[in-house]
């Protein structure tokens, strides 16, 4: 067997090894506990969910513990039931009570624990919450999550983000907070009128263009018709002349 054939036979093996290495290196970066969606408006209420993938091939996830940021307590946290899972909600006294909707709140949810269910290998589960009122003086809320497996292994998703945007080994689930979008009704109305005017002008242009196109099509058809008649007459004349010549 020559050298070229040996190299060709090795290519599929090398390609498979390379692809496997890429999957092994890239997999863990996407398989961490996260908040979905990743952003919410400041000062508002939002429905979020903790997305928990199972990273192991020989064990199931059987417990999730989420600790809320004590520096930025939320006045309202409600849990959506997850089939097959039990939930425990813990509250803590606030050093500084919250004022919301004319009420004083002196305690807030500090920790939520889900147990009793299983996230099998190759699967994930979402644990939804309704939260609010979100703070207006920070750009993110950081949650700390502990993921427990059936083999008693505990993965601590508590690492803060690193400077420069580099992802930590076990990043804490983070909800980015963005400024509420401005809704200028006056601007919307003006934009609407401008849009209507533009639509009217466009319609007129389209109509004029259509008329011109139709006129052009009619003219072309007439020219072709006349040309066809002329060609036909010429053909008949040619046939008559040819017949006379043959007779002569």
User: What 3-state DSSP class applies to 6?
Assistant: helix
Same domain, 152 and 191: no
DSSP state, residue 163: G
**Which of 135, 152, 178 is where one domain is finished?**
178
Mean pLDDT score, 60-81: 96
Taking Cα atoms as reference points, which of 40, 42, 111, 107 lies closest to residue 75? Answer: 107
Query: Of 25-29, 177-181, 204-208, 243-247, which has the strongest mean pLDDT?
Result: 177-181
Same domain, 69 and 137: yes
pTM for the model stands at 0.62
More confident residue, 99 or 192: 99
**Which of 155, 178, 201 is where one domain is finished?**
178
Q: What is the CATH number of the domain that holds 88?
A: 2.60.40.2230
- Grade residue 167 by pLDDT with cuts at 50, 70 and 90: confident
Domain count for the chain, please give it.
2
Give me the percent of the chain exceeding a pLDDT of 90.
50
Same domain, 159 and 223: no
**Is 137 a domain residue?**
yes
pLDDT at 29 over 70: no
Same domain, 53 and 157: yes
Same domain, 229 and 132: no
pLDDT, position 22: 36
Same domain, 196 and 169: no
End-to-end CA distance of the chain: 85
Same domain, 158 and 205: no
**Is 14 a domain residue?**
no
pLDDT tens-digit readout, 114-132: 999 999 999 999 999 999 9
Q: In which domain, by residue range, is 51 found?
A: 31-178
**Is 152 a domain residue?**
yes
State the chain's mean pLDDT as an integer.
75
**Which of 126, 155, 178 is where one domain is finished?**
178
Taking Cα atoms as reference points, which of 120, 111, 131 lies closest to residue 64? Answer: 111
Same domain, 173 and 191: no
Angle at 164 between CA 162 and CA 169, to 5 degrees: 35
pLDDT, position 182: 52
**Is 108 a domain residue?**
yes
**Is 42 a domain residue?**
yes
**Is 26 a domain residue?**
no
Same domain, 103 and 129: yes
Q: Determine the Cα–Cα distance for residues 130 and 89; give it in Å rounded to an integer.
A: 13
Same domain, 146 and 111: yes
Same domain, 210 and 238: yes
Mean pLDDT score, 21-27: 37
**Is 16 a domain residue?**
no
Kindly state the tokens that stand for 146: 């502990």
**Is 144 a domain residue?**
yes
Q: Determine the Cα–Cα distance for residues 196 and 188; give it in Å rounded to an integer.
A: 12
Same domain, 158 and 195: no
Q: Does residue 131 contact residue 45 with C-beta atoms inside 8 Å?
A: yes
């Amino acid at each position: 067997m020559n050298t070229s054939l040996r190299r060709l036979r090795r290519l599929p093996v090398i390609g498979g090894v390379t692809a496997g290495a890429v999957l092994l290196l890239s997999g863990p970066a996407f398989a961490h506990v996260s908040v979905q969606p990743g952003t919410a408006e400041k000062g508002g209420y939002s429905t979020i969910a903790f997305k928990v993938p199972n990273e192991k091939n020989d064990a199931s996830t059987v417990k999730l513990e989420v600790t809320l940021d004590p520096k930025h307590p939320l006045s309202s946290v409600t849990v959506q039931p997850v089939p097959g899972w039990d939930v425990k909600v813990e509250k803590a006294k606030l050093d500084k009570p919250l004022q919301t909707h004319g009420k004083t709140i002196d305690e807030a949810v500090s920790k939520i624990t889900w147990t009793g269910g299983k996230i099998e290998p190759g699967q994930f589960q979402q644990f939804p919450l309704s939260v609010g009122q979100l703070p207006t003086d920070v750009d993110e809320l950081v949650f700390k999550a502990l993921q427990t497996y059936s083999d008693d292994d505990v993965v601590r998703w508590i690492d803060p983000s690193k400077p420069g945007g580099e992802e930590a080994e076990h990043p804490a689930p983070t909800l980015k907070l963005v400024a509420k979008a401005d809704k200028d009704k006056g601007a919307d109305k003006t934009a609407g009128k401008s849009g209507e005017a533009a639509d009217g002008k466009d319609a007129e242009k389209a109509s004029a263009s259509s008329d011109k196109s139709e006129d052009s099509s009619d003219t072309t058809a007439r020219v072709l018709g006349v040309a066809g008649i002329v060609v036909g007459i010429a053909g008949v004349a040619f046939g008559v002349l040819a017949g006379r010549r043959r007779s002569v």
